[in-house]
Amino acid sequence: MKLYICLLLFLNSCFTYAFKKDVLPYSIVILKADLIVDGVISKVSKDKYEFTINQFVKGKSSLKITVSIWKEWLCDPRIKELKSGQRLILFLEKNADGNFIPINQSTGELYVDNDKFIDIFLPKDFSSPQVLKEGISMFVETFALYGNLKDRFLQNVYLVSNKSIFEVYKIRSYNKSFEFLVDDLLYSNVQFNVGYTINQIND
C-alpha cells in the first residue's frame, strides 16, 4: 500500500511538472513585444487570422496584420474560440515570414468583451483595458530591455530605467497596471539598473 501511494505521488509530481506552462512576466512580455495593439479579428483561417488594428499601444505597422494561431495544449487552452468581430489586445513578435505571433501563447492574446477582460486568471490590476493600455504606455516610456531577448531563461538580459527609483515609485500611484508591472519586475530574472539613463547606456 505504501509503495502504491509513493508511486502515485511520484507520477503526479512528474505529470504536474510536464504540463506546467513556462509563464513570462507581463513586464518582460511588454518590453519584448515588437507590437502591442487593440483591435478586432476580421477573418480566421486554418493557421492564422487577419487582425484589424484600432489602436497602437507600442510599435507601428499597417492597420491590417496577419497573426499566426498558436497551438493549444493541456495547460494553455484558449478561453474562447477565435472568430470575426472578437476584440483582442495583442502582445506580438514578428516572425521571419513577416507575420506576427502572440508572445508566450495565451499571455500575448487577451480577449475583451464589453470593454472588460474575460480571462479570470489575469492579474486583478488588468480589470480595465483602458487602464492597462495607459499603464503599458507609461511602462514603455520608463523602461527598456537589453541583451539576448531570445534567451528563454533571460540570463543575459538587463533592464534600464530612464527615471530614478524615486520617480518610478512616485508615478506608480497614477496607474494600477503600471504599479503591477513595476512590482512584477521584482520577480523576473533581469538586472534592474534603475537610475541609469538609456542614453548613458548607449554611450
84-109: burial string, b at 16+ Cβ within 10 Å, e else: eebbbbbbbbeeeeeebbbbbbbbbb
Q: Which domains does the chain have, with CATH numbers?
A: 26-121 (2.40.50.120), 129-202 (no CATH)
What is the structure's pLDDT at 187? 62
pLDDT tens digits, one per residue of 2-33: 444 444 444 444 444 444 556 788 988 999 99
Average pLDDT over residues 98-108: 91
DSSP helix/strand/coil, 63: coil
Q: What share of the chain is helix, strand, coil (3-state, %, to 5)?
A: 35, 30, 35
Average pLDDT over residues 70-86: 86
Q: How far is residue 105's CA from residue 23's CA, in Å, rounded to a whole number? A: 9
Contacts of 30 (CB under 8 A, 6+ apart): 36, 58, 91, 136, 139, 140, 181
> Does 48 have pLDDT greater than 60?
yes
DSSP helix/strand/coil, 121: coil
CB atoms within 10 A of CB 80: 11
Q: How far is residue 131's CA from residue 112's CA, in Å, rounded to a whole number? A: 13
Average pLDDT over residues 62-71: 94
pTM for this predicted structure = 0.80
